[in-house]
Amino acid sequence: MSQSPQNLSAALADVKASDRYKLGWKALTELIGQGRSFSGNESNCCFLNTRDGRFTDASATTGLSLYDDGRAVAVCDWNFDGSQDIWVSNRNAPRVRLLRNSSRGGDWLALRLSGTLSNKDAVGARVVIDLGDNKLRSKTLRAGDGFLAQSSKWLHFGLGNKATILSAKVYWPGGKVEKISGLKINQYHTIEQGKGQALLWKPPTGNSEIKTSKITFNESNDNTRTWLIGRIPLPRLEGIPDTGDSPKLINLWSESCAPCVAEISEWTKHEKQIRDAGLDIFALNVGLLDGTQQKTTHLTFPFNSGKASPEILDVLDIFHRTFVELQQPLPIPTSFLLDKEGRVAAIYKGHVPLSTLLDDVALLSKPESEARDAAVPFSGRWASDLFPPQAIRLAESFAAAGNPSLRKRYLKDYLLRFKSEETRLYLGRILLDENNLEQAIRVFAGISATTENEAEYHRSAGILLLKYNQIRPARDHLRAALSVYKDNPDFRFNLGIAEAGSGNLIESLNHFRACVRMKPTDAVAHFQLGNALQATGKGHDAVTHYRKSLQIRPGWMFPANNLAWLLSTHPDSELRNGEEAIKLITPIIKADGGKNHTTLSTLAAALAETGDFKGAIETTTRALHYAQSVGANDAGLRAALSNYRNGKAFRGK
């Protein structure tokens, strides 16, 4: 045959995104994290229309000349005082800034449009206001004003001083033009399409004020506290024993660092308060790494202490660079606050006041949904639930830093402590890539192969291996569970796929038949049974099940293509029906854009069956072009083309 029928697993194969694109964004994010700027650290600009065909730089006088890494600007009359205010979104902090317009200019007019014949929000509508003396004001309602930004849907017009409105027109989307009456200066109005009348609108009386803040540029301060929105566990680190059911603080210090010594002394002085709070401290000396610095102070530290190994420093540095956006090198002292489950909740750079530390320890005992509020500078309502665990993100950072073994160890340890199907799947893929199938199976299945659950183990392992195209191992595991799950239609379907992929066509056929008996309305089961029947030379029965699949799921490409192929190429003339095949495959080709060499090949066979060899030749030539463009095997297409040029229809088995 010139082609094999469409296979479901091949049709559902993943198409990877561009690795180059991903790497580009990764590199860009790293640069931003290092303190670089999208805008080159240039201040924002504002230009004023001088109404003589020129613009003047008004950045400083308007207060807009901020060194924010601006992304978008949106305007609205936030407090309904007749003046347009500005919202600015930034790449850096503050992420959103409101710049309130306190100026008092001339007259104004605000309109809110509502479409009836056009779209409800009247996006695309244009309003033209005639003020006389050839003074026109026009605005168009647009959707989107920058990156993830949308200005208010109110159209705000500045009218100058002592304005008089002679006329107003709305040019609605779709071409309708409507004159509007009832407009009053310095008022808000709503306009509904088709009414021709503007209605006064009264602004809400609620408090829309936002606490003002003075823009200042403070001197650099090395003392920072970062509370993480979602807590992430550290790997188990040698030298930092598991303290059980209590929070701990990992502190990096050096004897040559005066703030470090002062901090150690403060903790020593307030030992009782710290222990009463339930906190363990691990002070790790980074000055002893090379063995050249000797102990020069005579501190009696009541908590745990030791040497900061290179591995510990690498792990903490990678953790910091992964979850703190500004990726500056860690200073000393730096401390990491961990909850009782070993998850990092806060990072302190520089000296952390004792009161702050104790407050944060108390915060750990609160529900995480409450404690996360400490990660933001102001109260509010969260738009989503807690951030999901980001173990995968940290694991990727370990691998990117050249330590794939730490990545794997960290993920295995994570799954021992926490439940995460996403993380389990990720680790399983790593193990499969390493051809470590047995470990991958155990990770995927999430259970041990014991006598009590042996069948469940084999079933889970087989299905997951099948998902990742490990056909023969999947078949072996599924066979081992057949006696227990023989009456489960989904199990029989999966085993049918595995047997077909292993070349065991009769076994595959039997499993699909069993599946269809148990799930007679399953379109996919009928499709796969049709494939098995066709592969075993039972074309008439295959046609029946392809038709049944299309009856349950009309217009589905795969059974439609395979049915059309059989109707075009089967040796039995009583089964062949070229006209029906053309009717089946033509809408499929139209839907997929006419660039699929498989469906084009089927159409060519159908055309040849009806005697249209010219059409068959032209269609096969197109199919060859698209097959070659994707690197597909074109030997069958070339053989079919030779047949058509000789005036012969294609015949299969």
Q: Over the stretch 317-347, which tens digit does the pLDDT of each residue have?
A: 999 988 887 767 788 899 999 999 889 999 9
CA-CA-CA-CA torsion sign (17, 18, 22, 28): negative
d(CA 345, CA 233): 9
Strand order in the sheet with 126-130: 136-140, 126-130, 167-171, 177-179
pLDDT tens-digit series, residues 434-478: 878 778 877 776 655 555 567 877 887 888 788 878 899 889 989
Contact 187, 110 (CB under 8 A): yes
Which residues make Cβ contacts (< 8 Å) with residue 40, sequence separation at least 6? none
Res 176: pLDDT: 93
Strand order in the sheet with 107-114: 155-160, 107-114, 188-192, 198-201
In single-letter form, the type of residue at position 108 comes to W
Distances (CA, A) of 651 to 112, 516, 566, 573: 68, 29, 9, 10
Res 554: pLDDT: 93
Say whether 595 sits in a helix, a strand or coil.
coil
Mean pLDDT value across residues 582-607: 92
CA-CA-CA-CA torsion sign (506, 510, 515, 517): positive
**For residue 589, is pLDDT > 90?**
yes
pTM: 0.54
Using only C-alpha atoms, the chain has a radius of gyration, in whole angstroms, of: 35
Q: E strands along 212-340, which residues?
A: 224-233, 248-253, 280-285, 304-307, 334-338
**For residue 297, is pLDDT > 50?**
no
Contact 90, 97 (CB under 8 A): yes
CA-wise closest residue to 194 among 176, 182, 212: 176
Mean pLDDT value across residues 23-39: 72
Selected residue with higher pLDDT from 385 and 624: 624
**For residue 277, is pLDDT > 90?**
yes
CA-CA-CA-CA torsion sign (542, 545, 550, 551): positive
**For residue 296, is pLDDT > 50?**
no
**For residue 532, is pLDDT > 90?**
yes
- In the predicted model, what is the mean pLDDT of the chain? 85
Res 222: pLDDT: 58
Tally the C-alpha atoms within 13 A of residue 496's C-alpha that lie toward its C-beta. 28
Res 11: pLDDT: 40
**For residue 257, is pLDDT > 90?**
no
pLDDT tens-digit series, residues 535-562: 999 999 999 999 999 999 999 999 999 9
Residue 216 pLDDT grade (very low, low, confident, very high; cuts 50, 70, 90): low
Residue 238 pLDDT grade (very low, low, confident, very high; cuts 50, 70, 90): confident
Hey, what are 419's tokens? 């439940």
User: Which region among 270-279, 330-339, 383-392, 446-455 has the lowest average model confidence (pLDDT)?
Assistant: 446-455
Selected residue with higher pLDDT from 198 and 453: 198
**For residue 225, is pLDDT > 60?**
yes
d(CA 527, CA 357): 64
**For residue 15, is pLDDT > 50?**
no
**For residue 9, is pLDDT > 70?**
no
d(CA 92, CA 94): 6
d(CA 575, CA 573): 5
Question: Burial letters for 341-355: b for 16+ Cβ neighbours within 10 Å, e otherwise?
Answer: ebbbbbbbbbbbeee
Mean pLDDT value across residues 93-115: 85
**For residue 367, is pLDDT > 50?**
yes
Contact 640, 629 (CB under 8 A): no
Residue 601 pLDDT grade (very low, low, confident, very high; cuts 50, 70, 90): very high
Percentage of the chain modeled with pLDDT above 70: 88
Q: Is residue 381 exposed (0-12), middle (13-18) or buried (19+ Cβ within 10 Å)?
A: exposed
